[in-house]
Amino acid sequence: MTDPKLAKTAEAEAIERAKQGDEAAFEVLYNLHKRRVYSLCLRMVSNPAQAEDLAQEAFLQLFRKVGTFRGESAFSTWLHRMTVNVVLMNLRKKGLPVVSLEETIETDEESPKKELGGPDLKLAGSLDRLQLQRAIEKLPPGYKTIFVLHDVEGFEHNEIATMVGCSIGNSKSQLHKARLKLRDYLKFMRAEKAEKQ
């Protein structure tokens, strides 16, 4: 496993060389972060070709501004935010909902009374991550955005609210609904799998 300190040093050196126009340095930075950037794009849009285009645009925007990077925040944080902005702008351009337009209204649909029969997720102790990835892909776009940003990528609600243009309360509500939907999807998948066995 790479020593984090060494990795940081290598990244810092690559940034300085990239400022001088060194192609190899750009490639080092690209290879260090390409998986994270691409994975984020892919989770948000669920289309590999589109995710590649967005990843490309995110890196280009970052590299164009590398000369202004002062090291006050982590390079990865900077890139992370830029990627999210690129994806959100793309979603807005296509007229896709970035955040669900639903109000924070309590409905019977989310009450435990409507639980699906089937295996208890908690008793299993862990989740099938492949199933979880598939379930995330099935989420409606608005729920998916908030869930990916918060639970997968680790942004706080105040950051999400700023990025997507909603209130903190709406962000929390959307996240909760996304998790409830995922719970339903996962129980359904698990029940299906149990029936086949």
Partner 1 sequence: MTCSEVQRVLPEMMDGAPNNELQAHLEKCPACSDLVAELELISIEAHQLVESNEPSPRVWLAIAAELRSEGLIRDPEAKPGRPVLVPTERRRWNAWWLVPVAAALLVAASYVGMRKPATQIAEKPAVVAPANAPDLAAQSNQQKPAPQVAETKRPVPIDRSLDEPSVSAPVQVVSTEDRQFLDDVGQRSPRMKAEFESQLRAVNSYIRDAEAYLKQNPGDEDARQHVMAAYEQKAMLYQMALNHIQ
Cβ proximity to partner 1, 58 vs 98, nearer residue:
58
Q: Which residue has the tokens 């996240």?
A: 175
Query: Which residues between 128 and 147 bind partner 1 (CB under 8 A)?
Result: 129, 132-133, 136, 147
Distance, in Å, from the CA atom of 55 to the CA atom of 39, rounded to the nearest integer, reads 9
Structure tokens at 26: 């750009």
DSSP class of residue 140 equals -
* From candidates 111, 158, 162, 167, binder to partner 1 by CB under 8 A: 111
Q: Decide: is 88 part of the binding site for partner 1 (CB under 8 A).
A: no
Alpha-helical (H) ranges within 120-167 are 121-124, 129-138, 141-147, 157-164
CB-CB neighbours of 129 under 10 Å: 8
For residue 124, with 0-12 CB atoms within 10 Å meaning exposed, 13-18 middle and 19 or more buried, which class applies? exposed
Q: Under the criterion CB under 8 A, does residue 173 sit at the interface with partner 1? A: yes
Specify the 3-state DSSP secondary structure of 127.
coil
Interface residue with partner 1, options 10, 11, 32, 36 (CB under 8 A): 36
192 binds partner 1 (CB under 8 A): no
Asked if residues 126 and 155 have their Cβ atoms less than 8 Å apart, the reply is no
Residues constituting the chain: 197
CB of 195 to partner 1, least distance (A): 20
Among 1, 3, 6, 23, binds partner 1 (CB under 8 A): 23
State the binding string over 46-85 for partner 1 (x if CB under 8 A, else -).
-----xx--xx--xx--xx---------------------
Distance CA 162, CA 141 (A): 18
Residues at the interface with partner 1 (CB under 8 A)? 20-23, 26-27, 30, 34-36, 38-39, 42, 51-52, 55-56, 59-60, 63-64, 104, 106, 110-112, 115, 120-122, 126-127, 129, 132-133, 136, 147, 151-152, 154, 169, 172-173, 175-176, 179-180, 182-183, 186
